[in-house]
Amino acid sequence: QVSVLYFARSAELAGRRSETLSVPRHITSLQLWEEIVKAHPRLAVIRDQVVFAVRQEYVLLGDQLLVLQPGDEVAIIPPISGG
């Protein structure tokens, strides 16, 4: 199980700021994103803009293999605009 934190627009789309999800321990970053989208299909609209962080390190969506530990934090951070 991992803790998923949603920020800004991702929190609006998911309808929550955090939750715990059960995912495989060995998973690619893209598969992890797909598991999160399965739980919250509305997140699919930000796929190409989202910044993904695992254990406070940025991760690109793709084939990068992640080895998750119980309680690891996954943050979903949509693009932030400002001046």
What is the residue extent of each domain of the chain?
Answer: 2-77
pLDDT for the residue numbered 82: 55
How far apart are the C-alpha atoms of 20 and 72, rounded to whole Å?
10
pLDDT for the residue numbered 51: 85
Q: Which CATH architecture has domain 2-77?
A: Roll (3.10)
- Strand bridging mode 26-28 / 65-67: antiparallel
- Contact call for residues 45 and 78 (beta carbons, < 8 A): no
pLDDT for the residue numbered 31: 96
How far apart are the C-alpha atoms of 74 and 48, rounded to whole Å?
17
pTM of the model: 0.90
Residue ranges, the chain, pLDDT below 70 = 80-83
pLDDT for the residue numbered 73: 97
